[in-house]
Amino acid sequence: MSILETREYLWSDEAACEAFAQRLSRQPALFNACIELHGGLGAGKTTLVRHLLRALGVSGRIKSPSYAVLESYELPQGIASHFDFYRFSDPREWEDAGFREIFTSPGLKLCEWPEKAQGMLPEPELSIFIEAVEDDARRVRIEAHTVAGQALLQGLDAA
């Protein structure tokens, strides 16, 4: 997977994560993007997704899809699909659950633990790596893999 551009951030606390999510939510290229979220347990992947979905207008409960693998949300701009592949182990589930169709359809795809579905996921627009460094602080690296991903990064710079 090629890396076209990279950005690094230090989020001092959850408010910094929320501010980032709000900036990302204002990027037009987001609504058909596939974004991979990498990091250990408790790194803040689901926290980022929650802040992003709130910024996009989701008002109901936003839960981690750890057991269901997928939670979908209606947005004014379309569908947001939040995947958590942590417990994903059977490649047949990919077809049986209709994941291929979701990934070839319009909409935002947010993928936690993408390495568990390696070889099945399309090339993401962005890969976001989150690492807990101390207390609430997080070191974040974002890689753009497509032209649309580059547009997202450049839009973040301008926001």
pTM: 0.92
**Per-residue pLDDT band at 53 (split at 50, 70, 90):** very high
Q: Is the pLDDT of residue 151 over 80?
A: yes
Max Cα-Cα span within the chain: 42
Terminal-residue alpha carbon distance, the chain? 27
Q: Report which of residues 92 and 44 the model is more confident about.
A: 44
Q: How far apart are CA 72 and CA 81, in angstroms?
A: 4
Work out the pLDDT band at 97, boundaries 50, 70, 90: confident
- Average of pLDDT values for 70-85? 92
The predicted model gives 61-90 an average pLDDT of: 85
Question: What is the band of 62 on the pLDDT scale with cuts at 50, 70, 90?
Answer: confident
Q: How many beta carbons lie within 10 A of that of residue 67, not counting itself?
A: 9
Residue 159 reports pLDDT greater than 80: no
Strand partners, 141: 8, 129
User: Residues 33-44: what's their mean pLDDT?
Assistant: 94
Name the token pair of 89: 């182990």
pLDDT grade for 130, boundaries at 50, 70 and 90: very high
Q: What's the pLDDT at 32?
A: 92
pLDDT at residue 106, rounded to an integer:
93
List the domain range (segments joined by +) for residue 100: 5-156
- Predicted confidence at residue 59, as pLDDT, reads 87
CATH of residue 120? 3.40.50.300
Q: Give me the number of domains the chain comprises.
A: 1
Q: What is the pLDDT of residue 5?
A: 94
User: What one-character DSSP code corresponds to residue 124?
Assistant: P
The fraction of the chain above a pLDDT of 70, given in percent, is 98
